[in-house]
Structure 1
């Protein structure tokens, strides 16, 4: 359709009103969810989409979710058939091969009708603490196929004309350990979308359907113009860079991510074809994750205020190879693809940009979301428990300032779980939670330090999965800055401390525990003392 001319004031009003609805949906989900992973850590995202899945607005939540959700929403609507939806329907899916991330990230999609016409879609995504599979927390590093990672849900109606399909929900929950929390979190997702639906109806009462459509398309065009202008500020050039994962989930070995980026005028071309093939372990990711990383990096390097809607990717072309690590195909396991691989995709992109635009690129950050899951059956409560948390690390130093310490970087943007919440919700005791001093790389500007968390199981037994990276490698420094210090994983057992691989799993008994130390960020520039 033709884009109506909105003057700058009208455009800004439309942008803020639509973004505020997305923010309110996310806030409602956080405030009504059951699990600490959503209500405390805020591992969720929300947005508004057009009837065909065109991204209209997003809340400022998790870059990884926000980058891949447009692909997932569009494919989910196309797969199910938007023409089959009626008022009161709600879809649910977690299928990574439609553009999702991994199975714990359940996406709830609510169509918005106005005068019997599908006007928009409200959607949110949240990481559930368990969706079945071979380990509690559903984040096994050693899975060799998607079936081992949990229940996979194609786009199906969770609600039909306003009525919960109880039998479908029962089938899902029968495959999940933490049934009460999962059911509560799913219902919170549904309720949050209903709030977004009401807010859009309020907007439609004021604007009407035609003005709503005109405004959304005008915002997409505005974002495309802004993005083209931002890309044009980068120097023209081409760069190629290879960075590697150090572990494939089953064994310690290098798995290369190779990317070529080219800036030509106001367009960006990104090519991942030379990346290694998908692997047997759970570090593969969908092409939508890869595209989300590209969207994030262009905002990082140019203008973080670029609007997050469909226009952002209009001047950007991303090429991947089906069956590769960064565009995995069925039945590749993907649980840790966003935890590990998305962060390394960002590192590879930054390395490529540094070859022709060095003044915009920071040193490498800690390089992993560093996830820990601890779960089992608690005999005291008579219920399964699943503790899930990702940990911050050192931020890479920038050309003009130090990196921050113990912070989530790049594709993750969650909070931490307070120590008091951990000890209240789970049979765990927090022995230490502190900054890992002097782990950031030296330089004119210093990389941020990583963090240390030491947990002990207080009763019973549990399975632990600790997935981190930069244990045998280090986040690289730039322009003479030193590399950050690597991380570590330690199992505290009856026979003493045991250093483990970066992607590890084991059982613990009461009194035993684990420590993760995340890597420090790389430094930037030669330190004054070395000059």
Structure 2
């Protein structure tokens, strides 16, 4: 295919995903989607292979790409259908991330799938924010097996009411997802009509060949060999134990195999994850090795494979709890993979970043001012330094790409006052290049509420590279009393919660 035509096609496919995201953001109701932009949009071919995605949330996109074949091939599709799911053991990640998928038909045949995934602060858990300190998946909210929310154009109102918990705000967010997917189907139809069905199908295969070629060219800079690393999660909040993640990466002529044998077994708490989450972390690191103009398509996935023992932390079995696996374990998998590959390419990768999404979930079932409310946010930290310079300060890292919730929005919607939001000075690792600084964010509660913290790097500090120093680990405090990294608590009016995030590791000897 003509390379200019191919480049234009890639841009047009990606623009559909970007427009879907804009529609979802602008039509949603909750700060979690509207302000934090905790959502992702993508297009898939008839077999469920990735065709294009927007630059949204890496853990959403990589896991969707890995699992979509299994999702779409178990359904009998009709025009006008839309599937909804969140079951981590059937293509999801954790329960708050709800995925919607619609087919695109031409002459009675499915020619593509249009999908989005968004994080809902209320998915039916008893704990505010639906991010509990759980030991069983049923404690985390409503489990949605793949089911048609819209069947041949007819909305299943009973199902919609069940999954939205009869909450007006939640219902609005679900309908925003529906509208976003429908818009994607319309835009995709316009594109195929202009290009022509036969030419478009040939173009998709050319796109995959091009993606595989670029990926192989990028990965061949990694010398053949086996590269190993390990790192630890602080603990699951239930049992006092450290949790090992280990990887061995075999590289042969630009093709890679990731073997997570030796990783801890699934745990009692909620740090477990489906294999798709580990795949998303691997895909993210490999995508960082590729040139900016490389398409993100199924062809790239043909260059690597992943194994993790069944029943392990990274390939958990039902009914293991998974709420933090998506947000915390995924981050540590990135750290481990980068650490292993930095042995082969010592000047390419950054030192460990702050290593946690620093999850804060809060709410109340009976607020005097706003009634029932649920809120969830993630807090950034410091990026690791690298051979070319210092790490960035006070930003999200790696597997999340959300915005921060503006203080004005948070205080407008909920009975909370943000009393401090600042860069945490001197938290980055020392070295020839300094690691980025973390964040301090303090919340004062104007009413009684419940809070859950799911945070990491409170025990093990982010590592430095090439002689660089470790960063300062994170801390959590309530009214001057230090809290563990993972905990649930009731807070009173006037209480102050401080979340202090880790910095990034340093690079090179000072």
TM-score under structure 2 length normalisation: 0.98
Aligned length: 510
Structure-1 residue corresponding to 2:476: 489
CA distance in 2, matches of 1:119, 1:355: 43
The equivalent position to 2:268 in structure 1, one of 251, 255, 280, is: 280
In the TM superposition, what are the counterparts of 1:257-336 in structure 2 within 5 Å?
257-336=245-324
The equivalent position to 1:129 in structure 2, one of 99, 116, 121, is: 121
The equivalent position to 2:135 in structure 1, one of 128, 137, 144, is: 144
SS of the residue corresponding to residue 417 of structure 1 reads coil
1:408-444, CA deviations, whole angstroms, 9 ceiling, x for partnerless residues?
0111110000000000011100000010011001111
SS of the residue corresponding to residue 360 of structure 1 reads coil
Instruction: Kindly indicate whether residue 451 of structure 2 is the aligned counterpart of residue 464 of structure 1.
Output: yes
CA distance in 2, matches of 1:333, 1:368: 18
Structure-2 residue corresponding to 1:111: 103
CA distance in 1, matches of 2:33, 2:391: 27
**Mean CA deviation greater in 147-156 or 214-223:** 214-223
Instruction: Kindly indicate whether residue 214 of structure 2 is the aligned counterpart of residue 222 of structure 1.
Output: no
The equivalent position to 1:42 in structure 2, one of 37, 43, 61, is: 37
Structure-2 residue corresponding to 1:511: 494
Structure-2 residue corresponding to 1:161: 152
Structure-2 residue corresponding to 1:3: none
In the TM superposition, what are the counterparts of 1:12-91 in structure 2 within 5 Å?
12-79=7-74, 81=75, 84-91=76-83
Tell me, yes or no, if the aligned pair for 2:38 and 2:118 is still in contact at 8 Å.
yes
Instruction: Kindly indicate whether residue 159 of structure 2 is the aligned counterpart of residue 171 of structure 1.
Output: no
Q: How far off is 1:73 after superposition?
A: 2.4
CA distance in 2, matches of 1:317, 1:380: 53
**Mean CA deviation greater in 65-74 or 334-343:** 65-74
Q: How far off is 1:308 after superposition?
A: 1.2
- Which runs of 5 or more residues in structure 1 are unaligned? 1-5
Tell me, yes or no, if the aligned pair for 1:373 and 1:464 is still in contact at 8 Å.
yes
Q: How far off is 1:382 after superposition?
A: 5.6
CA distance in 2, matches of 1:74, 1:163: 25
Instruction: Kindly indicate whether residue 398 of structure 2 is the aligned counterpart of residue 406 of structure 1.
Output: no
In the TM superposition, what are the counterparts of 1:395-474 in structure 2 within 5 Å?
395-459=383-447, 461-474=448-461
Q: How far off is 1:300 after superposition?
A: 2.0
SS of the residue corresponding to residue 125 of structure 1 reads strand
Structure-2 residue corresponding to 1:343: 331
SS of the residue corresponding to residue 130 of structure 2 reads coil
**Mean CA deviation greater in 505-514 or 447-456:** 505-514
CA distance in 1, matches of 2:220, 2:187: 37
CA distance in 1, matches of 2:246, 2:65: 25
CA distance in 1, matches of 2:246, 2:343: 14
Tell me, yes or no, if the aligned pair for 1:362 and 1:399 is still in contact at 8 Å.
yes
In the TM superposition, what are the counterparts of 1:366-377 in structure 2 within 5 Å?
366-377=354-365
Q: In angstroms, what is the RMSD of aligned CA positions?
A: 1.3
CA distance in 2, matches of 1:232, 1:512: 54
SS of the residue corresponding to residue 213 of structure 1 reads helix
SS of the residue corresponding to residue 137 of structure 1 reads helix
Tell me, yes or no, if the aligned pair for 2:49 and 2:65 is still in contact at 8 Å.
yes
Seen in structure 2, the aligned counterparts of structure 1 residues 441 and 525 have a Cα distance that, compared at 3 Å, is same
Q: How far off is 1:335 after superposition?
A: 0.2
CA distance in 2, matches of 1:252, 1:16: 49
**Mean CA deviation greater in 131-140 or 88-97:** 131-140
Seen in structure 2, the aligned counterparts of structure 1 residues 107 and 208 have a Cα distance that, compared at 3 Å, is same
Q: How far off is 1:357 after superposition?
A: 2.1
CA distance in 2, matches of 1:382, 1:239: 53
SS of the residue corresponding to residue 127 of structure 2 reads coil
Tell me, yes or no, if the aligned pair for 1:245 and 1:469 is still in contact at 8 Å.
yes
Tell me, yes or no, if the aligned pair for 2:29 and 2:172 is still in contact at 8 Å.
yes
- Which runs of 5 or more residues in structure 2 are unaligned? none
CA distance in 2, matches of 1:501, 1:301: 36
SS of the residue corresponding to residue 247 of structure 1 reads coil
Tell me, yes or no, if the aligned pair for 2:370 and 2:414 is still in contact at 8 Å.
no
Seen in structure 2, the aligned counterparts of structure 1 residues 190 and 13 have a Cα distance that, compared at 3 Å, is same
SS of the residue corresponding to residue 31 of structure 1 reads helix
CA distance in 1, matches of 2:51, 2:150: 24
Structure-1 residue corresponding to 2:506: 523
SS of the residue corresponding to residue 433 of structure 1 reads strand
Q: How far off is 1:99 after superposition?
A: 3.1
Q: How far off is 1:171 after superposition?
A: 2.3
Seen in structure 2, the aligned counterparts of structure 1 residues 377 and 311 have a Cα distance that, compared at 3 Å, is same
Q: How far off is 1:173 after superposition?
A: 3.0
Tell me, yes or no, if the aligned pair for 2:85 and 2:145 is still in contact at 8 Å.
yes
